Amino acid sequence: MGLAVPRFWREIPYRYNLIGSRCRVCNRIFFPPREVCPYCRRKSLGKMEEMKLKGRGKLITYTIIYTPPSNFENQVPYAVGIVELDEGPRITSQIVDCDPEKLRIGMRVEAVFRKIQEDGDTGAIYYGYKFRPVGEDEDKGETG
């Protein structure tokens, strides 16, 4: 669609480092970061602080995409899921590094840093998080 680079550049801290936000009134945690807590609203103004998320969680649901949008044609079939992070927020992401047929609801996953898409041969390359399955016994330590 030809959007200027800043449209993507300004989201880099959040997409590269999984930075969400916490409401200092009710302690709820959000991703992507929010300006206003939808539970505390005006009381939360000026009280939302950035917070780095650990990038671990469980798979709530998923799909395997066969008809892709632009820029994803060479990736099909690929899995996309909704992950519930251990801190609470839910996040939409590709699920990678495994056979999509072996995915199951409830499985543990962790965030990895990957290329998401590129604007043709000469445009910008966009990076961010994807998630991959992790065995229960390996499920400790920092984000991969």
Query: How far are the Cα atoms of 16, 23, 38, 39 from residue 129, in angstroms, in the given order?
Result: 6, 23, 25, 27
Site string for another protein, 108-127 (x = CB under 8 A): --------xx--------x-
User: Residue 101, Cβ neighbours under 10 Å: how many?
Assistant: 9
Nearer to another protein, 78 or 113 (CB): 78
User: Residue 94, Cβ neighbours under 10 Å: how many?
Assistant: 20
Minimum distance, C-beta of residue 43 to another protein, in the bound complex (Å): 20
Angle at 82 between CA 81 and CA 84, to 5 degrees: 135
Contacts with another protein in 18-37 (CB under 8 A)?
Answer: 32
- Write phi, then psi, for 7 (nearest 5 degrees): -55, -35
Minimum distance, C-beta of residue 65 to another protein, in the bound complex (Å): 5
Query: How far are the Cα atoms of 3, 33, 108 from residue 20, in angstroms, in the given order?
Result: 24, 4, 20
8 Å CB contact between 69 and 105? no
From the list 16-24, 46-54, 77-85, 134-142, the region that binds another protein by CB under 8 A is 77-85
Nearer to another protein, 12 or 138 (CB): 12
Member of 67, 74, 102, 120 binding another protein (CB under 8 A): 67
2 near another protein (CB under 8 A): no
88 near another protein (CB under 8 A): no
What residue ranges bind another protein (CB under 8 A)?
Answer: 1, 11, 32, 60-70, 72, 75, 77-78, 80-82, 90-94, 100, 105, 116-117, 126, 128, 130
